[in-house]
Chain A
């Protein structure tokens, strides 16, 4: 299957690039752990179990950290105009989008996987009980984040304002992702059952993901031509 081979090559390229030049992933990870620590300074070390502050802290951390990663993911492509070389390959433009989206998804997801245990330890939550259901929410939320984030970071890195522009255009659009993920995470942290109490939120996250992957897949080529 050619599209899948192309996808594999594209994602491998991004991962190899990250491994060889290094540093971005580590910086993002340090940043997100640092934000969690700062939150504990700001809010106290034990979160009131009544309120769903935990979900909010986690997702704000991920949103900020992913801004760093998303900005970097395109500025590195534009160095030496290597994006032009990628565009010259006989691969459908939509596949280029899916590839970039998946590498962003993978990077952000790795960061989340390392940050979550630290968060759970710092704020004294039962780790083993929380991580399995939380993984589903992390995947759905991060897919939404990177589906829109990928195409918008392509836009923001091509303007004068660059880094500051991405959160401005990205955050309003992914409001539903933030709300949905925070609710689901809150329910998990309070010990509730994810499928029973947050089924509609999970469905909304899934709809958001599918919708924006399809829309971005269709309009990505217009953005690429202007980079």
Chain B
């Protein structure tokens, strides 16, 4: 299963990279730098997907108290933070040439940053309670509260920004069909990558649990 996914991922990556760099046309106003868009959107998507999986895993763990759900939530949180970090970095790299600034307190940027802080805190709680049952429960609670919070954060940040003057208006430039296709393909590839990483992290967590229980048996 994992090997199959791996092969599919590799193929999809090769096609995506070809599409992004060789096939997709260069954007008129922004030039080559616009290509980062295919990575930026895809990482943002994976970030949200990962946090949604954390939410599902957290609820599953609180309901069933099975380590399996906890492993899913924990593995997904790490990947989510990684991809949100990449999303913030690629966004910043794109903003400088496109808007002339590295960062702006735009609603979407701000909410992503708040989200990033939330799930980094999740990982810290996890780290502080390494491996214990307690840590699993605490992070599950955070996983639920954090996800429920996301819509309110989005809404409040949007209102907060619209009251002030808008520094930068994100131009909705039309995408050509080929660009749209490349974007969708890139999102698809990143989603595959997410699941591949999730399975890998899950297996590592499972092995860790097994080692701990074996060590305990040895001690007895």
Contacts and interface: CB of A to CB of B under 8 A. Distances in A.
Interface of A: 148, 151-152, 155, 158-161, 165, 168-169, 171-173, 175-176, 179-180, 183, 200-201, 204, 207-208, 211-212, 215-216, 219, 222-223, 225-226
A176 B121 CA distance: 17
Contact of A222 (B118, B137, B152): B137
A204 B141 contact: no
A85 B138 CA distance: 21
Interface of B: 62, 114-115, 117-118, 121-122, 124-125, 128-129, 133-134, 137-138, 140-142, 144-146, 148-149, 152-153, 155-157, 159-160, 163
Contact of B157 (A152, A179, A212): A179
A204 B125 CA distance: 28
B152 A172 contact: no
Contact of A226 (B128, B133, B148, B163): B133
A169 B142 contact: yes
Contacts of B133: 226
Given A211-B152, A215-B148, A225-B137, A155 B118 contact: no
B125 A155 contact: yes
Given A158-B134, A173-B146, A222 B129 contact: no
Nearest to A156: B125
B128 A159 contact: yes
Contacts, number: 89
Question: Binding site of B, secondary structure by majority: helix, strand, loop or mixed?
Answer: helix
A200 B155 CA distance: 11
Contacts of B144: 215, 219
A222 B141 contact: yes
A226 B152 contact: no
B151 to A, nearest CB: 10
6 contacts: A151-B145, A175-B156, A212-B148, A215-B148, A216-B145, A219-B145
A208 B148 CA distance: 10
B137 A223 contact: yes
Contact of A165 (B125, B152, B155): B125
